[in-house]
Structure 1
């Protein structure tokens, strides 16, 4: 390969202070691409089903892709991988911003951090130097304060990845935050708690090395061909953020309401992206190399929700808003701000609060459990208080901070019926009853319920991919042709998660032809479509093999009974129930798995993986 990678992985052991470099061969990069793929390979090799997610043997893996630090549109992303303390299986999350390119400019493709420090520390990575420094003065600070303090010490040109108080307390809904008050989050699967278990407050990067590109002129020309189309097709996101479609999402029955028990909501316009633009928006934010600019900057100048920082994205509006029936936009923005400062996944946090509200409504918990708080639907005050409690690990929030699956198990009785998750990961803000393919995607996602591991709904809205058999958007309620479709979507998402390209580019006209051309221009590799998609399939199956070692099988490939048996009674998804079992019957053969969801030996060997199940 002629560019795109340094062929250097930084290894750090916090238990003994060792720092060294690993130089993988080109075959690893070509088979697993980068980001999610290479991270999954290392996690598979370094851990197993018996690894304690909060123990020193669980590595925290930060990985970039080959496009990081180049002009490729939306390539300013990176992946973090570890065994999840929330789910007990494969865990990963990704973030935009500038940290990924910052690491790449230090001369590394990734960092693997093992062991546990005996005191709070942070890691400072610069060109040619790595230091493990005392973080005693940072411990206890929120993520915004941590970013500011580190910039006072090391200068404004650093980029910070850090945890807040929730990660320090090992709360299993904890995120890893980046870029200070711009608040780019590795939110899902509780990886902030893994970082906290290592007494690692932050990873700081500062570098100016130019990332090598095999054919710079060819890359520039290829990018110029797509960017005008991408900008035009995503203007709504630039104007109103990811929340541009909030009202439309509610109309088609996709918006989360009342812990997934609601059907329609006439107050959704109060919290829409358009309302945000009209009221509290002060600016827009672009991640590294981005041409879309969906990030929001907002300010609330007075009242109980005064704040200035990153504005709520669609998921925050869905999970702190619709899920809790809170229609106060300022309260939701403030709740999102608190999640960012504490270092909490806003998706799982909103899901946990809505779960608590339903338990309160059902009489399963009462004021003795809530500390006197009226945990009622629609109460902005209750929602905000629960964010505080979860972030601090206090009161009912201490229990909810374990996630809805574990909280329901501890409460017992009828509580598990109201815990909406797959494999321990709370649902994001998309309803599988609105898109049948989402049900299959959630059920088989390697990290638990996730709309981005397949993103099949994007190809049932406006996205197309003719070369993969999707010449036009598919019908969302169809009951056949789901197995192969979701498989292809998942394999494609593994590619994008390994290249580290934002999935919103799919709305902007991205095709695999662009991906292959950019990969050739950056690395010199001339991958055909078959080799590219085989890499995605290899990565997905490697993650599934890891989960099989953790005890995952067909019994876990499901969604809650509420989704399968209780339809929405009104709205755009009225009466639809996803036929999950029949879709799984299509999916397993398409995947080359047996009837229990275990990859067949011939499938594994065809993909060049080692059979050790």
Structure 2
């Protein structure tokens, strides 16, 4: 029913679901109550009052429109300021990045998909880099370098489709019979070559697969510079909330305790026996956040960005977007961050 009304009202279901789940978790943790919600009972699973939030958004009134309808990032600030809530906890559970709510693939066990959400330009959606299947099922991305290559190539390749007004489905939905035997099966290079012929046939300009990617790199990096100009586009904005990496609450950890305890033993080398759940959570969190940092470093290196996530001068020159205004902006931002 909620999906029907969201479609009818023209409200995005991903943003809606994340935003309602966020305030329900605040309710469950005693951060908000009926006085805040205008009498609505946001106990987890109370779909009737969740539906009322949706109807309020459509009518432009009440808690639904005035608070929940502003999205998760706005609510993190709002409830920190008005309720004295712990900002770190709200950030950990608030499933958004760059102001966009996360499409709900469970990414805790897929570092590549965490990066696919966190290191997009426009926020955590799976258009730029949907890597969870390659990472967890096909096991094609075992190293940080493999993940970094995927987090460079696929956002550029998918950008290319958008630049040329093409649908990506013919690229990888029907693979050649021998594709699995190629050096890079995930890229479906036989089909990529087809697009070089399409481009040449349409424009008369010969091009290589590498040339297609460079077209996108030029636009992608220029977009990064624009984002930088608006005060974003740096490393701090390329992180996902911790819930996308690991368990935030004791309840979350204990619901999968056998899995997490095994990871402590086998991946970190820590014996969980005798440790409290809180202690185990701290150890696991440090390990997972450290791995994400290593991934960010690897991706930035592959994309030709510095440690802050800003395109290097060499990258800007290689892509012929080293305009004076661009150079002035990136060097000023780089100097500001280096001085911190």
Give, in angstroms, the shift of residue 601 of structure 1: 1.1
- In the alignment, does 2:42 pair up with 1:375? yes
Match of 1:406? Answer: 74
Match of 1:527? Answer: 207
**Taking structure 2 as the reference length, what is the TM-score of the superposition?**
0.71
Match of 2:3? Answer: 336
Question: Deviation string for 1:87-119 (max 9, x for gaps)?
Answer: xxxxxxxxxxxxxxxxxxxxxxxxxxxxxxxxx
The answer (yes or no) to whether the contact 1:360–1:375 under 8 Å persists in 2 is yes
Residues 115-514 of structure 1: matches in 2 within 5 Å?
331=1, 335-397=2-64, 398-412=66-80, 413-414=85-86, 415-460=90-135, 473-475=138-140, 479=144, 481-505=146-170, 506-509=172-175, 511-514=191-194
5+ long unaligned stretches in structure 1? 1-330, 463-472
In the alignment of these two chains, the number of paired residues is 269
Structure 2: distance between partners of 1:443 and 1:588: 12
5+ long unaligned stretches in structure 2? 176-187, 264-287, 330-340
Residues 540-555 of structure 1: matches in 2 within 5 Å?
540-552=220-232, 553-555=234-236
Root mean square deviation, CA, Å? 2.5
Give, in angstroms, the shift of residue 408 of structure 1: 1.7
- In the alignment, does 2:192 pair up with 1:517? no
The answer (yes or no) to whether the contact 2:120–2:128 under 8 Å persists in 1 is yes
**Taking structure 1 as the reference length, what is the TM-score of the superposition?**
0.41
Give, in angstroms, the shift of residue 480 of structure 1: 5.0
Question: Deviation string for 1:278-306 (max 9, x for gaps)?
Answer: xxxxxxxxxxxxxxxxxxxxxxxxxxxxx
Match of 2:243? Answer: 562
Structure 2: distance between partners of 1:461 and 1:565: 16
Give, in angstroms, the shift of residue 608 of structure 1: 1.6
Greater shift in the superposed pair: 543-552 or 452-461:
452-461
The structure that is helix-richer by fraction is 2
The structure that is strand-richer by fraction is 1
Question: Deviation string for 1:296-355 (max 9, x for gaps)?
Answer: xxxxxxxxxxxxxxxxxxxxxxxxxxxxxxxxxxx3xxx223222322221111111111
CA distance change for structure 1 residues 484 and 402 in 2, over 3 Å: closer, same or farther? same
Structure 1: distance between partners of 2:105 and 2:143: 17
Structure 1: distance between partners of 2:212 and 2:54: 42
